[in-house]
Amino acid sequence: MTRKILVVDDDHKIRTLLKDYLERNNFAVLSAADGAEALAEFERFVDRIALIVLDIMLPDQDGFSLCQAIRRRSDVPVLMLTASADDTDRIVGLEIGADDYLGKPFNPRELLARIKAILRRVDAGEGDGAVRGYRFDDFSLDVIERYLKGPDGAVIHLSGQEFQLLQYLVEHAGEIVERAQLAEATGSREPSPLDRYLDVQISRLRQRLGDDGRQPRLIKTVRGAGYVFAAEVAAERG
């Protein structure tokens, strides 16, 4: 079944761009230019909307209050958009229940990747039983026993930090993960522009996975942004 996405943005060009792009990628798209229209569409299709792309700056109310109104009614995933470079918007958005945040201007491909990653996490959470691990590219990552098995079934020994790094990347597959996010998630020191500490950790992890550092197929470098785990990931339950 085609999943339905509600795009809320007062910019007609952005609404049209996202509608065309997402529909080419097999989503059905509803759109709204302000908060009142968004709430009307939300109430009309509340049980059929899979995700909402929500701009913070709207003509009749801000996206924060609209997100709060939606949260009182539903747990539908919300991805917020903002033209502000201030981290405060991102923090506030996440605190009131948004699932992700993307700054403007953005690449539609990155938005699509984030949408797919959010929906994968939702799908994993709706299955029976807790997530025990993940499968990708014939590897098996067990997050309970904390081990990685290769395609041949042999255990691949990882350090504690390598395991944390891999788990975070796998759980955010398809998303561009910033270096600062990885540093915070794995307990690493905050990277500076001249600090290659995370690059070394990524290089070691690629070696463990047999991932060619020059043309990696699993952990790809996004120049000036961070890293993205490019393999298809399936959750395993125990």
Q: Which residues pair with 147 in a beta bridge?
A: 142
Q: Please report how many Cα atoms fall inside a 13 Å half-sphere around the Cα of residue 185, on the Cβ side.
A: 18
Q: Is the pTM of this model over 0.75?
A: no
State the pLDDT at residue 192.
52
Where exactly are the structural domains of the chain? 3-125, 130-237
State the pLDDT at residue 23.
93
State the pLDDT at residue 91.
73
State the pLDDT at residue 194.
42
State the pLDDT at residue 160.
81
CA distances from 191 to 103, 166, 198 (A): 21, 18, 7
Q: Which residue has the tokens 């996010």?
A: 181
Q: Give the mean pLDDT per block of 10 residues along the chain (238 residues).
A: 90 95 93 96 92 94 92 90 72 78 86 85 64 90 88 90 89 85 66 65 92 88 88 81
Domain 130-237 is found in CATH 1.10.10.10: yes
Same fold, 3-125 and 130-237: no
A 10 A CB-CB count for 19 gives 17
* CATH tag, 3-125: 3.40.50.2300
